[in-house]
Structure 1
Amino acid sequence: MTPFKLTEELLAEIEQLIENQQGTELVSLMAEVHYADVAEIINELNEDEATYLIKLLDSDKTSDVLTELDEDVREAILSNLSVKEIAEELEELDTDDAADIVAELPNEIVQEVISEIEDKEHAKDIVELLRYDENSAGGLMAKELVKVNENWNVLTCVKEMRAQAENVTRVHSIYVVDNEGILKGRLSLKDLLTTSTTAPIREVYIPKVDRVDVNEKPEEVAKIMQKYDLEAIPVVDEIGRLVGRITIDDIVDVIREEADRDYQMAAGISQGVEADDSIWELTRARLPWLFLGLLGGVGAAAIMGGFEEMIAKHAILFFFTPLIAAMAGNVGVQSSAIIVQGLANDDLKGSISNRLIKEMLLATLNGLILAAILLLFTWWWNGNFYTALAISLSLVAVIIVAGIIGTFIPLFLDKRGIDPAIATGPFITTSNDIFGILIYFWIAKLVLGI
């Protein structure tokens, strides 16, 4: 299969067809295009063109297209659809995707849209999902699944599964519940096919099944599914009743959003933003960390001012200040990035003290190697061994301290229930700049006897 590529020629052709109201030709052109690629096309059209295309295509395709659109584009299109048209789109979607779209609608039309959905069971499931916090397993799950009662025999089970499967896009697992809806286990398709049709399900099902609570955080659900290589996981309420399932496609979205958020935070952006956001939104996201950097720079300048006399006598120390600050920042970010990654993947083992000792030994080894190179270079360049020694010893100390800070802060924040990703980037860099400059000039003062 050749990957789809949206070219300027194709986009121009689509825009021309829309302008000329050539619906038949447009439908034919879009027939073999995947819904995700249709969404890519619509994201490039203006509001009127996008609305025309959505109304032209069948709901069984455009419903999926809506879930792939940029939020702003989807909001604009939905505002141009009637209540009945929105309801028709929702009927074609799984309940989790439908609930996400309903949550974005203006409050004044939500009830109207829900009442227009012909499948009342589908509408009921959507309403139920809207009650859960969006940042929970309940807000992430879908109601579509296949479940059987432990008291049924195999023949009854197969008949019920056939009926239920009509409303499920993909059957990952068959769940077993009791008369109260309590999740008891899962059913192996192999066991189902090789067992007598009169055998009760309670004698066939596998009691061990991974599950999550409706209030579990999506990030924790992602860790469980990743650890056990699950394509889907059942969701239970507070008393253990099966209420839904979360599939791998939803978890991929969670992992991507978490990675985007951590990347932005590490780069010094305090809230989720996109390139197309307004200047004011981008400024609000970036300014806090830039202000922190400003404070760090002012602090470093103030420290250097306290060593003005020493700098005047040994001007070469000033020239190496950027190197010391850069090395402190780089080592700190490296150390914190490893720790944050380990915490995110839940594979960081051992005590904090052992982790600090390991990082300190690693920083010492790296520092000694780099300091030896710097010592030879500075001695050759300046001709003063003690000055070169002062700079080199400072580098070792700064690297060790930066490694410890970069390791300790994320671990400390994690223990306090704070996202450790906040420790990377500007926060670590700024703190290490200040400590690095202070250590640099303090050691230089001791070595040079000033």
Structure 2
Amino acid sequence: MAFEITDEFLENLVGLIYENNDLEIKKLFKEVHFADVAEVLDEVSFDEAIYIIKLLDSEKTSEILTELDEDTREKILENLSAKEIADEVGEMDSDDAADIIGELSEERQERVINALEDDELAADIKELLSYQDNTAGALMAKELVKVYETWTVAGCMRRIRGQAKEVTRVHSIYVVDKEDKLVGRLSLKDLIIAKSDQKIAEISKAKVDAVNVNEDDEKVAKIMAKYDLEAIPVIDDNNVLLGRITIDDIVDVLKEEADKDYQMAAGISQDVEANDTIWELTKARLPWLILALFGGFISVSILGGFETAMDTYPALFFFTPLIAAMAGNVGVQSSAIIVQGLANDSLKGSLWRRLFKEVLQSLINGFVLAALLMSAGMLFLGFKVEIGVTVAISLISVIMIASIVGTFVPIILDKRGVDPALATGPFITTSNDIFGILIYFMIAKIILGF
């Protein structure tokens, strides 16, 4: 049964804290998963959260810290000594430990690393912190099971027992040569059924997918998703085995990227959350709102240039919001499909073929929508034929242009190293609004001759 945080649970917990009833608090959390404990800490006051963290054993609280909201974790770490933080990260895998220590100031990082009792873990953390953010090196863990190709099966079995104690999940056994270069992989099944005197080189598989330590983490995610990998080894430029990346880390990468793209598509320029400060939320949202305001001002200026048409054909202005809205909607639809394709690496084929496909489908959509609009305008609103034709042709043209812009802007941004998700937000909507209104009145001027 899933754990549920109720008011009764929180009231009981707070009461136990104020009574300093440590024994009952430990019993209360004994069977609760660390992810659920993290949610509880987000619900109680800061002082109460600190009390719980310091009370529970490091084996559990180390897992809890990795699940906490970043702001909450930062505040908690500020109130723990270097020795207390070292005790926590000492129970973590090297990648999680590096992530936690990486959030500290450089001075505190050094103090915490010096306070670690495990020298090997300290060295691993220093190495992981040296890699650039958003790379395979920054994402990997040093814990893995590694065997040498010259070992026998019997010798290998004895040695991997000691290695496996440090590894949370054994997905694969990696085979290296005497220079620690990755030469293959070994499944547990093959190891178990092999004869004890066989060499590892005889039963290992030479084909093994690996990523370079400097590879972008999004590229790593695409590789693991494509080949359905639960873990992937990380190597350097000389093919030396450095660590491994597991699927749980990739899920975090995908979630962060999805959150970032979603916010960017909504016109939010930096990573923020609902409980961030007003100033942080304003900084993230205001730039795009200014862009939208500027775009709206351009649209108004365009309308002002056709002011003389208002007296002769006032009906044209009734359709202005509709034309602008259709341009924005079509552009967002097209760009969303392209951005999704770029994100999951499914965008295939030549640009000319995609252009032809986009023009064809936009023509179909445009003719259907224009026919509906023209018929409704003439039947129910009594517009003249020339007005209906003008609006219909304008709508088809606007849909085509918006569709092409929405398709190729993300592709161009991606080729220039800019996040293509930028094209699904106010940028594409505002630009297509401007193009839509301009095209609409230019076509109206040609047909109606004002």
DSSP-derived class of the 1:382 partner: coil
Partner of 1:49: 48
- For the aligned residue pairs, the C-alpha RMSD in angstroms reads 1.0
Q: Distance in 1 between matches of 2:35 and 2:201?
A: 42
Q: CA deviation at 1:346?
A: 0.2
Partner of 1:328: 327
TM-score by length of structure 1 reads 0.98
- One-letter amino acid of the counterpart of residue 77, structure 1: I
Is 2:120 the counterpart of 1:121?
A: yes
Partner of 1:68: 67
Partner of 2:399: 399
How many pairs are equivalent? 449
Q: Distance in 2 between matches of 1:94 and 1:437?
A: 57
Partner of 2:410: 410
Partner of 1:133: 132
Q: CA deviation at 1:167?
A: 0.6
Partner of 1:14: 13
Partner of 1:204: 203
Q: CA deviation at 1:188?
A: 2.0
Structural mapping, 1:308-323, within 5 Å: 308-323=307-322
Q: CA deviation at 1:382?
A: 2.4
Q: Which runs of 5+ in 2 are unaligned?
A: none
DSSP-derived class of the 1:223 partner: helix
Q: Distance in 1 between matches of 2:368 and 2:439?
A: 19
Q: Distance in 2 between matches of 1:334 and 1:232?
A: 35
Q: Cα deviation per residue 1:393-447 (whole Å; 9 max; x = unaligned)?
A: 1111100110000001111111222211111110110110011001111111222
Q: Distance in 2 between matches of 1:131 and 1:406?
A: 40
DSSP-derived class of the 1:328 partner: helix
Structural mapping, 1:100-119, within 5 Å: 100-119=99-118
Q: Cα deviation per residue 1:113-148 (whole Å; 9 max; x = unaligned)?
A: 112211211111111111111211000000000010
Q: CA deviation at 1:108?
A: 2.1
Structural mapping, 1:165-204, within 5 Å: 165-204=164-203
Is 2:339 the counterpart of 1:340?
A: yes
Q: CA deviation at 1:154?
A: 0.6
Q: Cα deviation per residue 1:293-336 (whole Å; 9 max; x = unaligned)?
A: 11110111111111111122111111111100000000000000
Q: Distance in 1 between matches of 2:412 and 2:134?
A: 24
Q: Which runs of 5+ in 1 are unaligned?
A: none
Q: Distance in 1 between matches of 2:235 and 2:271?
A: 30
Q: Cα deviation per residue 1:261-289 (whole Å; 9 max; x = unaligned)?
A: 00000100111111111111111111111
TM-score by length of structure 2 reads 0.98
- One-letter amino acid of the counterpart of residue 202, structure 1: A
- One-letter amino acid of the counterpart of residue 407, structure 2: T
Q: CA deviation at 1:5?
A: 2.0
Q: Distance in 2 between matches of 1:311 and 1:433?
A: 20
Partner of 1:385: 385
Q: Distance in 2 between matches of 1:293 and 1:89?
A: 47
Partner of 2:218: 219
Aligned partners of 1:352 and 1:411 also within 8 Å: no
DSSP-derived class of the 2:52 partner: helix
Is 2:83 the counterpart of 1:92?
A: no
Partner of 1:443: 443
Q: CA deviation at 1:202?
A: 1.1
